[in-house]
A = this chain, B = another copy of it.
Amino acid sequence: MEITKKEILSLKERKPINEVCFKPIGIIRSPFKTLKGIPIQSSMSESEGTIEIFPEYQDGLRDLDGFSHIFCLYFFDMVKQPVPLQSKPFLVDEKKGVFATRTPFRPNPIGISILQILSQLDNIIHVRNVDMLDKTYILDIKPYVPEFDCRSIERIGWLQDNIRRKLS
């Protein structure tokens, strides 16, 4: 991007941070009105919904509709803090660290879903693969780019033996 100095702090201005705060940029309307039955991952969902970007951010959507998929970052607002740092995941009888799972019950409950864009009109984006609770607040949208985001990897830890059971 064209970056001007007024958009960047100088290195001297950087300070230790105890807390960072964000304002939601939109909200999603989804068919999931309660936590029951929500797909575990967006990759396992064919459900459709609509993202409403708040009007003050609508200009930021320019040319988004050229992309077929997006990363959607959102806030799990149903989570009470503090969360346990270790829990037993679904189908596994041994505690795992929260950072080794994809549970919503995280110290910073930020969700990531990869959604397909079906259509866009003004500030409303019609999407597929929805796995969020209705009225979940959106924090950010980024284009999904396989060249950046698809990695061939070696190991998926404790999920290795369980992912087929989970996916079936």
Q: Which 7 A-B residue pairings sit nearest by Cβ, starting from the closest?
A: A66-B157, A62-B97, A59-B85, A60-B85, A22-B108, A68-B154, A64-B100
- Residue of B with least CB distance to A141: B99
The residue among A107, A154, A158 with the most chain B CB atoms within 10 A of its own CB is: A107
Of chain B, the residue at the smallest CB distance from A155 is B68
Report whether B34 and A11 are in contact in the complex, using a CB–CB cutoff of 8 Å: yes
| Chain A residues in the interface with B (C-beta under 8 A) | 1-3, 6-9, 11, 14, 17-25, 34-35, 41-43, 53, 57, 59-71, 73, 75, 77-80, 83-90, 95-103, 105-108, 110, 112, 114, 116, 135, 137, 139-160, 163, 167
Q: B108 contacts A25, CB within 8 Å? A: yes
Considering the chains assembled together, what is the distance between the CA atoms of A52 and B69 in angstroms?
Answer: 32
> Is there an interface contact between A140 and B108, defined as CB atoms closer than 8 Å?
yes
Q: Which residues of B contact A7 (CB under 8 A)?
A: 79-80, 83-84, 105
- In this complex, what residue of B is CB-closest to A107? B25
A26: shortest Cβ distance to chain B, in Å? 10
A110 in contact with B163 (CB, 8 Å): no
Kindly state the separation between the CA atoms of A159 and B153 in the bound complex, as whole angstroms: 24
